[in-house]
Structure 1
Amino acid sequence: MFRARVTAGALLYAFVIVMAWADREDPLRGDAEEEGVRWQEQEKPLPAYPQDADLIEIKPDGSRGPHQYRLDIKSLSAHPDGVVTYTVIVQSESGAQNVLFEGIRCASKEYKTYAVGAAQQQLQPVRQASWRKIFNKDPIRHRIELYTYYVCDANQFALPPKSIIERLRHPGRIPSPYNSDR
């Protein structure tokens, strides 16, 4: 009898935990989804190919990796769907460069690569581009750096381009993410 009560109690406890977990607020959904409207991504037009005069270097926090990152401030754009788009040049120690037109969605801590640099200084759209999580341990450090320090505020809202550019130009004035809820 005692064993049956313990088992029933354990099952009831597990059920309550599972139901609470299933009913939790999902931080990956935007406010619109909580109101019954699904988030809908808007079309992102491709920017012009980056020019050297428009590039600002990004120095990832604590990174001693083999890459340099430069963001094209002319391509920087905040969209009504909450996505911030930008073009970044990733350069290896050997001098090889990758040009990426990407977007960051602050509300879900995700990125998407819309286009890559191609011959004749053109951006080529990526087929079947999809949203991917931004991970702290990603060896390509610009995404976590942009998400943490430049593009998103502590409440996971996208900053306007003017604020992002100001942060890029004066990185010493950026609030520490360690004082926020990230």
Structure 2
Amino acid sequence: MPRRRRGAGRYPRLARGGPRLRWLLVLLVAGCAPTQPVSDWERQNRQRLVSEDTAAPPPYPRHADLIEFYVSPTAEFKYFVDARSLSVGADRIVRFTLVARSPSGVDNVSYEGIRCPREHRLYAVARAEGSWSSRDSDWREFARGTSLGWQYALAHYFFCPHRDPIRSAAEGVDALRRGSHPSVYVEPKNLGGSN
């Protein structure tokens, strides 16, 4: 009597297919496995990222629309927000055009967003002739005490009072003109004044 191959009795095709067919079956079974449940936090954050509005950069800022704001006593640049560009989207992101003027008078112009209370994103950078170059970056936390302290200053003193975004562009423009949001206490030394 001829000797039968091992495993050929019950499933002869499986035995002939060898390891390749077995791996295919393992992969098929793994693909049918139930997915892990998604937590409320994951669902909420996924929705927040998916629902972000996309906005085209506004017109290049005019000198008359720039509002200067104070960053810190160590800041070498002067910082301005273009009042016409300030907006608050349905996604609760505060978007604006920032002008950072160097001590030699050179303007660095960018279109940015702040997601309260402590994240920022760069959307575009202006070219010398006034057009925009897209620089769509990821959301990043901003660091205090760095040369990018203007991000913290804008969020903390103007656009995110009590860690929530302002409700309208008019509220943000008013805060910039006052020197801080009316509901945020600012010590006089932090407003650029002297004691």
Q: TM-score, normalised by structure 2?
A: 0.67
Cross-structure match for 1:163: 171
Residue by residue, what CA displacement relative to the aligned partner does 1:107-155 show, whole Å, maximum 9, x if unpaired? 5x110010001131112111x5111111112212221111001111204
Cross-structure match for 2:109: 99
Cross-structure match for 2:61: 50
Q: How does 1:17-36 map to 2 (within 5 A)?
A: 33=44
Cross-structure match for 2:157: 149
Which SS does the other structure have where 1:121 is aligned? Answer: coil
Q: Percent identity?
A: 27
Change (3 A) 1:120 1:154: same
The residue identity in structure 2 corresponding to 1:96 is: V
Cross-structure match for 1:7: none
Change (3 A) 1:156 1:172: closer
Q: 1:125 aligns with which of 116, 121, 134?
A: 134
Distance in 2 separating the partners of 1:66 and 1:46? 27
Contact 1:154 1:177 in 2 (8 A): no
Cross-structure match for 2:92: 82
Give unpaired runs (5+ residues) of structure 1.
Answer: 1-24
Give unpaired runs (5+ residues) of structure 2.
Answer: 1-39, 188-195
More strand by share: 1
Which SS does the other structure have where 2:110 is aligned? Answer: strand
Q: TM-score, normalised by structure 1?
A: 0.71
| Residue 111 (1) aligns with residue 103 (2) | no
**CA shift for structure 1 position 37:** 4.0
Q: Which runs of at least 4 in structure 1 moved beyond 3 Å after TM superposition?
A: 36-39
Contact 2:95 2:114 in 1 (8 A): yes
Instruction: State the superposition RMSD in angstroms.
Output: 2.5
Distance in 2 separating the partners of 1:42 and 1:124? 19
Distance in 1 separating the partners of 2:48 and 2:78? 37
**CA shift for structure 1 position 43:** 0.9
Distance in 1 separating the partners of 2:129 and 2:181? 38
Contact 1:152 1:159 in 2 (8 A): no
In the alignment of these two chains, the number of paired residues is 146
